[in-house]
Amino acid sequence: MFALVAMGLSLIYGIMDVVNFAHGEFLMIAMYASFFMWTYLGFDPLLSSPIIALCMFGFGVLIYRWLGRYLVGATLIPQVFATFGLMVFMQAGANFLWKADTRTLPENLSSGLFQFGGLFFNVAELVAAGGALATALLMFWFINRTETGLALQATAEDQQAARLLGIDTDRMFAIAWGLSAATVGIGGVLLSTYYVINPLVGVKWVLPAFVAVAIGGFGSVLGAFYGGIIIGLIQVGGGFFTSANYKTLFAYGLFLLIVLVRPHGLMGRK
């Protein structure tokens, strides 16, 4: 799960050099969308995930057109604070529209427990893990095997050169934001099947995801994928050995360690 959130984050950063602090709020929006699709339209999350991913793609492009575009090449402060502002705005907006109450998705296709060798698994979590893996594979395929994906990589490598080669970098940036929002959108839908939904859920997930991105190296999508898995394990392990309250502390500590010892992460480039 962290892997999916982290991948989207890394994509925007890698291509545009912009850290999107509102990424977690994209996740939150997708979770609400999944919730409303189920309660009002009766669409199971598994069914609605492609629709939501598509909507989130559009949303990402929209945000890029209105805001992200002006952050390319901007100095650190407007960059960081534009997305921080977006984060606060979306959080407060969700809180305003849907109240601070925590919601959970009622029974759905992926509810239930699954027994394997004396261990109980939550089906929803297994489905989510499978879905996350599938989405990740799809992402890799898109980035490495399609023309648009390669153009994205070229843009990430060198904007000017890409422009000279006739790549529409503005369009590439828009696609990067869209894809990033779409992956986190799917993440949100999958997450909504077993996790509570409230206006602040985004931060809860995205801060550790930042750690995942840092571990993998900013800009490396594959690195972010591994980083996400590492973070997931550390949080579970750390929470197991101490109190659950402190589990995110391990992730934060790890971040500091990583950036100080190996500033470009495990697989990052300068």
Q: Where do contacts with another protein occur on this chain (CB under 8 A)?
A: 13, 19, 66-67, 70-71, 74-82, 84-93, 95-96, 100, 102, 198-200, 203-204, 207, 210-211, 214, 218, 243, 245-246, 248-249, 252-253, 255-256, 259-260, 263
We find the least distance from the C-beta atom of residue 117 to another protein, in angstroms, to be: 33
Which CB, 102 or 104, lies closer to another protein?
102
Which CB, 18 or 37, lies closer to another protein?
18
Nearest to 184 by CA among 38, 96, 17, 63: 63
Nearest to 197 by CA among 8, 19, 24: 24
Amino acid present at 61 = V
Q: Is 91 exposed, middle or buried (0-12, 13-18, 19+ CB in 10 A)?
A: buried
Which CB, 48 or 91, lies closer to another protein?
91
- Strands (DSSP E) found in 56-122: 113-116, 119-122
CA–CA distance from 31 to each of 72, 164, 167, 210 (Å)? 28, 40, 34, 19
Answer for the pair 191, 128: CB distance below 8 angstroms, yes or no: yes
Answer for the pair 230, 6: CB distance below 8 angstroms, yes or no: no
We find the least distance from the C-beta atom of residue 206 to another protein, in angstroms, to be: 10
Which CB, 13 or 177, lies closer to another protein?
13
Q: Which two tokens stand for residue 19?
A: 């850290």
We find the least distance from the C-beta atom of residue 101 to another protein, in angstroms, to be: 9
Which CB, 115 or 245, lies closer to another protein?
245
We find the least distance from the C-beta atom of residue 156 to another protein, in angstroms, to be: 16
CA 261, CA 229: separation in Å to the nearest integer?
A: 20
We find the least distance from the C-beta atom of residue 207 to another protein, in angstroms, to be: 6
Nearest to 65 by CA among 185, 178, 174, 182: 174
We find the least distance from the C-beta atom of residue 44 to another protein, in angstroms, to be: 27
Which CB, 163 or 204, lies closer to another protein?
204
